[in-house]
Amino acid sequence: MALHAAPPPPPPCTAGRLPTTSRRPCFSAGRIFRCSLPAAAARPRNAAFLAPLRTSSAVCTKAVSNSDGTPGTSSSPHVVCFGELLIDFVPTVNGVSLAEASAFKKAPGGAPANVAVGIARLGGSSAFIGKVGDDEFGYMLADILKENNVNNQGLLFDAHARTALAFVTLRNDGEREFMFYRNPSADMLLEETELDLDLIRKAKIFHHGSISLITEPCKTAHIAAAKAAKDAGVLISYDPNLRLPLWSSADDARDGILSIWETADVIKISEEEVSFLTKGEDPYDDSVIKKLMHPNLKLLLVTEGPEGCRYYSKEFNGRVGGLKVNAVDTTGAGDAFVAGILSQLSVDFSLLQDEGRLREALKFANVCGALTVTERGAIPALPTRQQVVDALTKVVA
């Protein structure tokens, strides 16, 4: 399918960008300051839900192009990832609070986008569908997708909302907590009419999470995208990626995550998410895990950090050990794992019926996750196929 370079942004989008004098980062000498934003960004918090924020002319699309700027071509991506694309600000040292952090590393992220880039880094074929702000961060993120060979024809820019930001607190063990800035952010404003349904229907796998189920209009767009994929016979991959602070309550989060549970063919969850969804039951008890199975589920994966993962299907179940490394930042580890398994599954669905080959694929995915925690940030740390192969070779040796 031929893709053409996007024309220059129309006036409404240009007007929505930050003035040149306001594009400086909101950081100085390691401290965080408030920034003066244009009137569009300073509207009442509920304005997004009182009236449409934009017309179609206020949204720009950025098509895939070659490195020299000429129009590029791409066959239909094997895996289409739907959801959020944002900026993570990660402290340069572990074990401090956000207030105590003296500096942050700016890192592109967002779970579905991490998966898309992870698949491409591993040599696979992927696309991303979502929305960012018509601002410097939004264009930076679009460029990062393109630079990593991710099809970004489904990425939109919104002139009336900013690209989402997340500040991450890293504990000494590399685990993290999040503080989000999205009131609303552009990713929350994707509408059903803006979906590239053709891109979705031609995919082999549609991967999504739960964050875009939290608010309208993105919730409706999310459900419509997943339905289009399901109706077209596309394999549905689901990683809830629980971020409890974004939901109004724990019950709403649990209900929201489970609301699309039975539409998925492949589900990946963490041991913590098992406990959350089952209201505190033992995540290491197979009988508890089997409660989360549904009749049409082909594969349920439970990740256990450095310990590896467990897998469950109707025919078999088991555990695959992980690769032990020194964790610096666990952000994106689960997404790297998902990229690792989907990159292989997208070219060979028969893995779902062959336990031996599935175990090898999961060993590969575990290494993807392990290598990602050795650097700060999600997308910057995602490994290439050669890095994973080299790590596997060292383990065997």
CA 48 – CA 57 distance, rounded (Å): 17
Quick one: what percent of the chain has pLDDT higher than 90?
68
Looking at residue 175, its pLDDT comes to 65
Q: How confident is the model at residue 377 (pLDDT cuts 50, 70, 90)?
A: confident
Q: How confident is the model at residue 146 (pLDDT cuts 50, 70, 90)?
A: very high
**pLDDT: which is higher, 330 or 202:** 202
In this prediction, residues 203-212 reach a mean pLDDT of 98
Q: How confident is the model at residue 36 (pLDDT cuts 50, 70, 90)?
A: very low
Q: How confident is the model at residue 196 (pLDDT cuts 50, 70, 90)?
A: very high
What digits encode the pLDDT tens for the residues 163-174?
A: 999 998 877 665
Count of CB atoms situated within 10 Å of the CB of 269: 23
Looking at residue 12, its pLDDT comes to 35
Looking at residue 64, its pLDDT comes to 42
CATH code of domain 84-396: 3.40.1190.20
Q: How confident is the model at residue 5 (pLDDT cuts 50, 70, 90)?
A: very low
CA 179 – CA 206 distance, rounded (Å): 28
Task: Tell me the one-letter amino acid at 159.
Answer: A
Looking at residue 21, its pLDDT comes to 32
Looking at residue 174, its pLDDT comes to 57
**pLDDT: which is higher, 89 or 73:** 89
Residue 11 has pLDDT above 50, yes or no: no
Of the given ranges (16-20, 115-119, 185-189, 387-391), which has the lowest mean pLDDT?
16-20
Residue 61 has pLDDT above 80, yes or no: no
Residue 247: DSSP 8-state: S
Count of CB atoms situated within 10 Å of the CB of 27: 14
**Which residues contact residue 113 at a Cβ distance below 8 angstroms, ignoring those fewer than 6 apart?**
81, 83, 84, 85, 86, 128, 130, 141, 145, 150, 379
**pLDDT: which is higher, 7 or 233:** 233
Looking at residue 374, its pLDDT comes to 93
CA 299 – CA 266 distance, rounded (Å): 5
CA 17 – CA 161 distance, rounded (Å): 10
What digits encode the pLDDT tens for the residues 222-260?
A: 999 999 999 999 999 999 999 998 999 999 999 999 999
DSSP letter for each residue of 14-51: HHHSPPGGG-S-SEETTEE------GGGGS-TTGGGTS
Highest mean pLDDT among 66-70, 101-105, 248-252: 248-252
Token output for 25: 């980062």
Dump strand ranges (E) for the chain.
27-28, 31-32, 59-61, 79-82, 86-91, 104-109, 126-133, 151-158, 165-170, 176-181, 205-208, 235-238, 266-270, 299-303, 309-312, 317-320
- pTM for the whole thing? 0.81
Residue 29 has pLDDT above 70, yes or no: no
Of the given ranges (72-86, 97-111, 125-139, 382-396), which has the lowest mean pLDDT?
72-86
Residue 133: DSSP 8-state: E
Where b means 16+ CB within 10 Å and e means fewer, 201-215 reads: bbbbbbbbbbbbbbb
Q: 178: closest CA among 161, 164, 160, 162? A: 164
What phi, psi does 76 have (nearest 5°)? -60, 125
In this prediction, residues 59-79 reach a mean pLDDT of 50
- Sheet of 151-158, strand order: 59-61, 151-158, 126-133, 79-82, 205-208, 235-238, 266-270, 299-303, 309-312, 317-320
Looking at residue 353, its pLDDT comes to 96
Q: Which helix (H) or strand (E) holds 336?
A: helix 333-345
Looking at residue 173, its pLDDT comes to 67
**Mean pLDDT for the chain overall:** 83
Token output for 266: 């492949």
